[in-house]
Chains A and B, each alone.
Chain A
Amino acid sequence: DAGVTQSPTHLIKTRGQQVTLRCSPISGHKSVSWYQQVLGQGPQFIFQYYEKEERGRGNFPDRFSARQFPNYSSELNVNALLLGDSALYLCASSFPFSGTEQYFGPGTRLTVT
């Protein structure tokens, strides 16, 4: 079975632009969580979606938003990009909502110039 997949792998954007990152969970997993990992730090929780509803939000500004689709895939959107948004964005899936083990994708490396 395929693991968690994320696209694109790498992305370069300019300050002020908007970006959309995509995640496909493991088949059968209904929960998707998003994390931001700045270089040298551990991942920081952004959102959790379960059954297409937001079930948790970390301490991130409203420029960050996400949604989950009927097939349980998810998109993370970031508006008005700042240099500080440069990071590795990780997606994790689990089943059920509070699954013991989260399975992480390889991440999307976003560079804002």
Chain B
Amino acid sequence: DAKTTQPPSMDCAEGRAANLPCNHSTISGNEYVYWYRQIHSQGPQYIIHGLKNNETNEMASLIITEDRKSSTLILPHATLRDTAVYYCIVRVEGGANNLFFGTGTRLTVIP
């Protein structure tokens, strides 16, 4: 699976949009981009995933560049409960469930 690069930490004001970047320059054509987050002392939680089109669900939006070498997770209106470590993962669809987490981005939402 391709590796990902994320900034170690980011701050965001409560109520503002949080934009979390991820670089995955070696992504293959059959690899999807997944985002999970881990709130302190809890197990990771799935957020969203996509292949090449932008995706949106009730939690977030995922914007993938046309060359698929990078993506951005957008939390439209960050709340204090969104403070967590966010992991960007690339994974082949249909393969084993062996997610390779990096060190992620620690997002702190500031009141």
Contacts and interface: CB of A to CB of B under 8 A. Distances in A.
B30 interface: no
Interface in B65-99: 85, 87, 93-99
Contact of A105 (B43, B49, B85): B43
Interface stretch (A11-19, A65-73, A78-86, A94-102): A94-102
A92 B93 CA distance: 17
Contact of B99 (A31, A45, A55, A107): A45
Nearest to A105: B43
A48 B97 contact: yes
A56 B43 contact: no
A45 B100 contact: yes
A90 B96 contact: no
Nearest to B48: A101
A24 B93 CA distance: 25
- Grouping DSSP codes into helix (H, G, I), strand (E, B) and loop, the B interface class, with mixed when no group exceeds half, is loop
Contacts, number: 62
Contacts of B43: 4, 90, 92, 104-107
Interface string A29-53: 0010101000011111100100000
Contacts of A43: 44, 99, 101
A8 interface: no
Given A4-B43, A90-B44, A92-B43, A102 B96 contact: no
A33 B98 contact: yes
Given A90-B44, A104-B44, A106-B42, A44 B97 contact: no
A97 B95 CA distance: 8
Nearest to A93: B97
Contacts of B45: 104
B99 A98 contact: no
B98 A101 contact: no
A37 to B, nearest CB: 8
Given A90-B44, A102-B46, A103-B46, 6 more contacts: A41-B103, A43-B44, A92-B43, A92-B44, A104-B42, A107-B43
5 contacts: A41-B103, A43-B101, A45-B99, A55-B96, A94-B97
